[in-house]
Amino acid sequence: MIEVRNLTKFFGSRKVVDDISFGVEKGEILGFLGPNGAGKSTTMRMITGFIPPSSGAAVIGGCDISREPISARKQIGYLPENAPVYPEMLVTGFLEFVAEIRGFRGSEKKRKVDEAIEKCFLTDVRSQSIQTLSKGFKQRVCFAQSILHDPEYLILDEPTDGLDPNQKHEVRQMIRKMSEEKAIILSTHILDEMETVCTRAIIIAGGKIVSDNTPYNLRTQSSLHGAVSLTLKAPNPDEAAALIQTIPGVKSIKVLDHSLDDFRVRIFPETIVNPIAGTILSTLGEKNYEIKSIFVEQGRLDEVFRNLTAVTPQS
């Protein structure tokens, strides 16, 4: 597993990462979320040993990255921010270099390079010079570099940044496919991505962990979670609103829109433990209202994200 213990980083007198601790087990995909400048990349750089921490430690599969850097790095695959690659090299040349650095020689080296090329859909460009590739392909070349040696631990800094929606989808599929026998940490500021890919999300703001939860639980922290959105055919909106107010379990309602016959309203429950959708349906049914649509809100991640990362007064 990857164990991060009290990692702290000062740049000058500025504390950029503030006492971060967490662990990632095999099979987990940990999403690292936070606004720009939150300290995601800095944390990942300390975990991979690119910069030393001011204090604290990162232990990768039992090896401390500061004390046994070589054995720790052997187990890591790392995709740095903006996917740096050597522009003048050929795709195969670059991957062969990485394979050699990872200790592969001869036919094994060739096999590893071919596998990585195949997994990352690079077959068409394999004998091209990297500088002639589009951003998406460069990203994939760097991604191929990180998985070439089939590492147990993958650290990906914004792996889908700059890709088009199809490429994003492909990269996410690749990550999910690999997750079973690996522990993966990926940073992103795309909430949908975190939700579709990650099994767990850590949100950091101002260098501190402000939340460590599953994507589902995060949603439940939204004020919208459990609210019922309803569209009725109601010639008399005020009457309908008054009726809904009287339904047991309803805390408050918010009229979203009423045009012609359509009356759209959002109904907030007193507590999410008692679902109110059923009672609403039966009450309105008795009064012969025509229900056009009903929808139980899951909660909005962007709202939760904003609340958690809202600028907190800093020292």
Ligand X SMILES: Nc1ncnc2c1ncn2[C@@H]1O[C@H](COP(=O)(O)OP(=O)(O)O)[C@@H](O)[C@H]1O
Residues at the site binding ligand X, with contacts judged by CB under 6 A? 11, 16, 34, 36-42
Q: Cα-Cα-Cα-Cα dihedral of 81, 85, 91, 93, to 10°?
A: -130
- Residue 43: which of 9, 82, 2, 79 has the closest Cα? 9
Specify the residue, 49 or 206, whose C-beta has the smaller distance to another protein. 49
Specify the residue, 66 or 283, whose C-beta has the smaller distance to another protein. 66
Question: Of the listed pieces 24-32, 100-108, 204-212, 276-284, which binds another protein according to CB under 8 A?
Answer: 100-108
Report if residue 57 touches another protein, rule: CB under 8 A: no
Report if residue 70 touches another protein, rule: CB under 8 A: yes
Report if residue 188 touches Mg ion, rule: CB under 5 A: no
- Rounded Cα–Cα distance for residues 309 and 218 (Å): 13
- Rounded Cα–Cα distance for residues 251 and 224 (Å): 13
- DSSP label at 289? P
Specify the residue, 101 or 242, whose C-beta has the smaller distance to another protein. 101
Cβ atoms of 75 and 63 within 8 Å: the answer is yes
Which residues neighbour 177 within 8 Å (Cβ) at sequence distance 6 or greater?
none
Report if residue 100 touches another protein, rule: CB under 8 A: yes
Site for another protein (CB under 8 A): which residue of 34, 39, 49, 207? 49
Q: Give me the 65-84 binding string for Mg ion, x by CB under 5 A, dash otherwise.
A: ----------------x---
Which residues neighbour 164 within 8 Å (Cβ) at sequence distance 6 or greater?
136
Q: Collapse the DSSP code of 126 into the 3-class scheme (helix H, G, I; strand E, B; otherwise coil) and give the result.
A: coil
Cβ atoms of 92 and 117 within 8 Å: the answer is yes
Cβ atoms of 139 and 163 within 8 Å: the answer is yes
Report if residue 41 touches Mg ion, rule: CB under 5 A: yes
Q: Collapse the DSSP code of 24 into the 3-class scheme (helix H, G, I; strand E, B; otherwise coil) and give the result.
A: strand
Min dist CB 46 to Mg ion, Å, is 13
Min dist CB 43 to ligand X, Å, is 7
Specify the residue, 76 or 147, whose C-beta has the smaller distance to another protein. 76
Min dist CB 104 to another protein, Å, is 10
Report if residue 73 touches another protein, rule: CB under 8 A: yes
Min dist CB 75 to another protein, Å, is 9
Min dist CB 249 to another protein, Å, is 55
Amino acid sitting at position 185: I
Nearest-CB residue to Mg ion? 41
User: For residue 11, what is the enclosing H or E element?
Assistant: strand 2-11
Site for another protein (CB under 8 A): which residue of 24, 60, 76, 267? 76
Cβ atoms of 188 and 194 within 8 Å: the answer is yes
Q: How many helices (H) and strands (E) does the chain have?
A: 11, 14
**Binding region for Mg ion (CB under 5 A):** 40-41, 81
Where do contacts with another protein occur on this chain (CB under 8 A)? 11, 45, 48-52, 69-71, 73-74, 76, 78, 80, 82, 84-89, 93, 97-98, 100-103, 142, 145
